[in-house]
Amino acid sequence: MKESTPGNVLEELLRSGQFVVTAEVSPPDSANPDDVLAAAGKLSEVADALNVTDAAGANCHISSFATCVILEQVGHQVVLQMTCRDRNRIALQGDLLGASVVGIKNVLCLTGDDVVIGDQPQAKRVFDFDSIQLLRTAKSMRDEGIFLSGRKLSTPPKLFLGAAANPFVEPFDYRPLRLAKKIQAGADFIQTQYCFDVQRFKQYMERVRDLGLHEKCFIIVGVGPLRSEKSAEFLRTKIPGVFIPELIMARMRKTPDSKQREEGKKICVEIIQQVLDERGVAGIHVMAYKQEDIVGEILDEAGLLPRPGKEYLQ
Amino acid sequence: MAALGRLRNHPGWLEISYQLVDRLFKQLDPMIRKIGYHRVDRWLRFPERIAKQVVFDCQMCGQCTLHFTGMTCPMTCPKNLRNGPCGGVRSNKHCEVKPEMNCVWVEAYERAIRMKIYGSGFHSIQAPLNRQLEGSSAFVNLLRSENDGISRAWKSIEGESLQ
């Protein structure tokens, strides 16, 4: 693989072969920059880079771009999540260039949740691009120095390009091939949907290794703690693409209400340990919506702290 | 909805018909060019729309990619995805956006693996749509893009053979 871009900590760590930890930050509903910093708060101490969601679940929040700018300014490494749901190709290419110009080094190219699951289902869905077209366009801007139209850029953007993968939904046997397609389109790294079904993940990785894909991109596995039986049920039924096996649901159900949070945390640590044993896994991506405070404990228990170059104070 | 939609479950026949029509158009190309692509496009729009609507629920994007997408129209995916299923497919293989509908791309994949002629094209990367071609004849557009050099914004690249 190529040399990493100077100053890109995430890329450097991945290329040096160390397990990385990324964590998801949800931009708040506020025009106060302090709220943005608070949202990143503790997560920045325990993660190598922070993913900033782009109106996740099609709900309005501070834009991913503005949040990333603020976090970059105070020295956090960010992964700008960019979806095709709200912007057309002109806006997306402008944002890719804009991201690089303000110092954002990592971009995660996504299709995006549909508007119907958000708080404003009346909105017009754009989807002028899909995630693969966005990736390929970003790659040609970076590597060939051209816009989609072929018009030249005087300085191409320096971006480490990411894509999402979901091994846990149908058609299962196609999912590894879809990963290959994303790599061909330009993905340098992959972040997966929540992994609760380790068995399925292992089958997926087996095929990924057969195809040699783990050598062509860095695979970061999505994990997260379940807060309660109720929130597990919500995640499973309301969030598209999240699969939680019956075994885990039963474990949550069996646990008394007051201990469910602890159990969810325990399950998360177990899953992390199991996926990190899998050959070809480059790191984990923690999505702990409204549970950001326990991410440090989870990573500590999984033996992933302290992070390189960071001090972890419990 | 497509009145003859069930035909889509026979992707083998459909890809043969597609290949025949494609060859026919290429044979007739010199004549069509003489008559003028614009004129032929005007004549063909309506019959092409009807024929493709009854089978594929065609949305007339003008850049038909049916043969590479399991003879299943990707424009019937609510997100208009051109490059495969999103990550929101439900466990019953239904659509994230319309829970009552089968995922278009799951169907496309299951049909593509049964297709001998164009099946592997499923893995090729499809270019972004040229929205200026919406509503026009896809077959004529194909000929025009090959002859007049009318840019297709970004030429699709063939995927590596994976299976």
CA distance B28 to chain A (A): 31
Q: Do B128 and A148 touch (CB under 8 A)?
A: yes
The mean predicted confidence, pLDDT, of chain B is: 86
Q: Which residues of B touch A89 (CB under 8 A)?
A: 128
The pLDDT of residue B163: 38
| Mean pLDDT of the B106-135 span | 92
Domain at A91, CATH number: 3.20.20.220
In this predicted structure, the answer to whether residue B152 has a pLDDT above a threshold of 70 is no
What would you report as the CA-atom Rg of chain B, rounded to the nearest whole angstrom? Answer: 16
> What is the number of structural domains in chain B?
1
* CB pairs < 8 Å spanning A and B: 104
| Mean pLDDT of the A55-79 span | 95
Identify the contact set of chain A against chain B, taking CB-CB distances under 8 A.
89, 111, 113-114, 116-117, 125, 127-133, 136-137, 148-149, 164-166, 169-171, 174, 177-178, 180-181, 184-185, 193, 211, 240-241, 243
Q: How confident is the model at residue B104 (pLDDT cuts 50, 70, 90)?
A: very high
Helices (H), chain A: 9-15, 33-40, 43-46, 64-73, 89-101, 131-139, 175-185, 198-210, 229-238, 246-254, 260-276, 295-301
In this predicted structure, the answer to whether residue A314 has a pLDDT above a threshold of 80 is no
CA distance B81 to chain A (A): 6
Residue A307 placed within a domain: no
Are B41 and B138 a contacting pair, CB within 8 Å? no
% of chain B residues with pLDDT over 90: 50
Q: Which of B160, B151, B86, B115 is nearest to A85 (CA)?
A: B86
pLDDT (tens digit per residue) in A150-206 = 899 999 999 999 999 999 999 999 999 999 999 999 999 999 999 999 999 999 999
The pLDDT of residue A255: 95
Q: What are phi and psi of A109, to 5 degrees?
A: -90, 120
Q: Which residues of A touch B126 (CB under 8 A)?
A: 132-133
The pLDDT of residue A5: 76
In this predicted structure, the answer to whether residue B155 has a pLDDT above a threshold of 60 is no
Q: Do A127 and B106 touch (CB under 8 A)?
A: no
Residue A3 placed within a domain: no
Range with the lowest mean pLDDT among A140-154, B26-40, B120-134, B148-162? Answer: B148-162
CA distance A196 to chain B (A): 14
Most B CBs within 10 Å, among A169, A200, A211, to test the B interface = A169
In this predicted structure, the answer to whether residue B87 has a pLDDT above a threshold of 90 is yes
Residue B99 placed within a domain: yes
| Mean pLDDT of the B57-73 span | 91
Instruction: Tell me which of A38 and B160 has the higher pLDDT.
Output: A38
Residue A310 placed within a domain: no
Q: Do B109 and A125 touch (CB under 8 A)?
A: no
Residue B25 contacts A where some CB pair is shorter than 8 Å:
no
| Mean pLDDT of the A58-77 span | 95
Q: Measured between alpha carbons, how far is B93 from B104 in angstroms, rounded to an integer? A: 9
In this predicted structure, the answer to whether residue B9 has a pLDDT above a threshold of 90 is no
Of B91, B96, B106, the CB nearest to A243: B91
pLDDT (tens digit per residue) in B106-119 = 999 999 999 999 98
Q: Do A127 and B87 touch (CB under 8 A)?
A: no
Are B70 and B110 a contacting pair, CB within 8 Å? yes
Residue A311 placed within a domain: no
pLDDT (tens digit per residue) in A265-277 = 999 999 999 999 9
| Mean pLDDT of the A20-34 span | 96
Q: Which domain holds residue A241?
A: 9-301
In this predicted structure, the answer to whether residue B157 has a pLDDT above a threshold of 60 is no
Residue B103 contacts A where some CB pair is shorter than 8 Å:
yes
Residue B46 placed within a domain: yes
Burial (CB count within 10 angstroms: exposed 0-12, middle 13-18, buried 19+), residue A273? middle
The pLDDT of residue B147: 64
Are A295 and A231 a contacting pair, CB within 8 Å? no
Q: Do B89 and A169 touch (CB under 8 A)?
A: yes
Q: What is the pTM of this model?
A: 0.93
Residue A74 placed within a domain: yes
The pLDDT of residue B154: 56
Q: Which residues of B touch A211 (CB under 8 A)?
A: 162
The mean predicted confidence, pLDDT, of chain A is: 94
Q: Measured between alpha carbons, how far is A260 from A270 in angstroms, rounded to an integer? A: 15
pLDDT (tens digit per residue) in A221-234 = 999 999 999 999 99
Q: Measured between alpha carbons, how far is A102 from A69 in angstroms, rounded to an integer? A: 7
The pLDDT of residue A7: 82
Residue A22 placed within a domain: yes
Residue B90 contacts A where some CB pair is shorter than 8 Å:
yes
Q: Which residues of B touch A165 (CB under 8 A)?
A: 87
Q: Which domain holds residue B110?
A: 5-147
The pLDDT of residue A61: 96
Q: How confident is the model at residue A313 (pLDDT cuts 50, 70, 90)?
A: low
> What is the number of structural domains in chain A?
1
Of A164, A184, A243, the CB nearest to B159: A184
Residue B63 placed within a domain: yes
